[in-house]
Amino acid sequence: MKKIIYALLIVAVSLASIFVFRFYSQEQYNEELEEAIASSSRPDALRELLTKSDAKYHDDLAYLIIYMPAADRDTLPLHLLLENVEYAHHVRHHYSWTKAIPEEIYRTDILPYHVVDEVRDSWRKELYELFAPVVDTCRTMEEALCAVNSRIPLLTGVEYNTLREKTNQSPRESMRQGMASCTGLSILLVDALRSVGIPARFVGTASWHDNRGNHSWTEVWLDSAWRVTEYYFPSQLDHLWFMEDAAKANPADRRYAIYATRFGKSDDWFPMVWCGEDSTAVEDLPQTIGAENVTQHYINLAQSQRRQRIENGTHTELRIAGYARREATTHSSDRVAMGVDIFWGTEQMGGGLTAGPQRDMNDMFSLLLPKNNTYELRYYDVTGKLHTQLVTLGDEPMTVSIYQD
């Protein structure tokens, strides 16, 4: 009897589907749905969800069931899954920008109920109610994006702070604490954008080229292309403080490559470094979140921006050398690798490590910056005390020294 009911269920889902998955025939889709449900420890509950929910939600529910991580298929609260689909379906048919996007983008970058491995909580309804009033008067997706990203710290109460409880915080965890690091901020921004029908995905690297550690940010699907943004709306899309670091990423080395998450069929996986210790090999990290290697795109974008700035004559180089002591700055052996961040007002313009004692004296950390501005350097001395230093950059390249003592 159960087999007959299940067969009828598959037929019902097939008939209710408005769209056939781009990469699959209907037969393949039915087989994958059957396999996914059968692999779960609660197949009857999943079948009941599909049977009793409104037919207009069946296709989205089936897609999520097929591609969700196996652990979620066993444990995810099904009322949460249904609520997620209901609100995603609403914005799909409510906002003009969401109506216009391809079905594949809707499925992979608006519909999903999670970003990476964060706690699965009921974020979509809460964030929709926060941000719908902000975007309801917007005419375009770009206007809506700007509206969300410029107001998200105020509306959620979440600011950047490394004192947060953990790295991979869910939206509710970050909002409860009022703080998150770059990973938590990126999860929150992705979910806030998705809640009002803006396709967004989580992007990051396990480590920058100079081993300063990982970083996470966000991309949005705008005008048929993925654009780079970050929590705290930057002055321009794609022009973020880490672009020169991104230009030095290595697409062939998973630790130094850049990945964008992908829900659905994927041939690669996202390196979630927060799941391991400092000594954990990147290949030993969990491989549960699908991803796309987007490193070459970032290299090309960053190099193009650099060429354009040099040709336009709007930028010049600020070079920074780090030394152990003020009285010893003559030899390579006097130098130390020091982390330094560069700010223009409240906007971070870049960051990196100064060259250590094994590097040539002419080899310095450098950054291409807009001319005729005053920048603030932030770095820590050997005792852990934060130092700041103001630097006025004119028309010509400039070299500045910072000291560990």
For the chain, give me the number of helices (H) and strands (E)? Answer: 14, 15
Query: Given 76, 94, 116, which residue is the final one in a domain?
Result: 76
Same domain, 141 and 261: yes
* Residue 223 located in a structural domain: yes
Query: How much is the pLDDT for 6?
Result: 45
* Residue 141 located in a structural domain: yes
**Confidence (pTM):** 0.86
* Residue 284 located in a structural domain: yes
Low-confidence spans in the chain with pLDDT less than 70: 1-25, 234-235
* Residue 310 located in a structural domain: no
Query: Given 243, 269, 301, which residue is the final one in a domain?
Result: 301
Domain of residue 286: give its range. 102-301
Q: What are residue 338's phi and psi, to 5 degrees?
A: -125, 135
Same domain, 341 and 385: yes
Same domain, 178 and 210: yes
Same domain, 290 and 323: no
Same domain, 225 and 137: yes
Return the amino acid letter for 377.
Answer: L
Helices 123-135 and 78-94 pack at an angle, to 10 degrees, of: 20
Same domain, 150 and 269: yes
Same domain, 151 and 206: yes
pLDDT digits (tens, 9 = 90+) for 249-290: 999 999 999 999 999 999 999 999 999 988 899 999 999 999
Q: 186-218: b or e for each residue (b if 16 or more CB lie within 10 Å)?
A: bbbbbbbbbbbbbbbbbbbbbbbbbeeebbbbb
Same domain, 158 and 136: yes
* Residue 82 located in a structural domain: no
Query: How much is the pLDDT for 288?
Result: 95
* Residue 322 located in a structural domain: yes
Same domain, 324 and 205: no
pLDDT digits (tens, 9 = 90+) for 356-381: 887 777 778 889 999 999 999 999 98
Query: Given 76, 91, 110, which residue is the final one in a domain?
Result: 76
Query: How much is the pLDDT for 28?
Result: 79
In the block, which residue shows the tokens 């396999």?
Answer: 35
Same domain, 44 and 72: yes
pLDDT digits (tens, 9 = 90+) for 38-68: 999 999 999 999 999 999 999 999 999 999 9
Query: How much is the pLDDT for 24?
Result: 53
* Residue 292 located in a structural domain: yes
Same domain, 297 and 351: no
CATH of the domain at 341: 2.60.40.10
* Residue 65 located in a structural domain: yes
The rounded distance, in Å, linking the Cα atoms of 291 and 388 is 38
DSSP-based helix, strand, coil % in the chain, nearest 5? 40, 20, 40
Same domain, 64 and 118: no
Q: How many domains does the chain have?
A: 3
Query: How much is the pLDDT for 21?
Result: 44
Please report, for residues 170, 255, 269, 272, the alpha-carbon distance to residue 281 in angstroms, rounded to integers and kept in the order given: 25, 9, 15, 11
Mean pLDDT computed over every residue of the chain: 91
CATH of the domain at 113: 3.10.620
> Which one, of 85, 4, 6, lies nearest residue 47 by Cα?
6
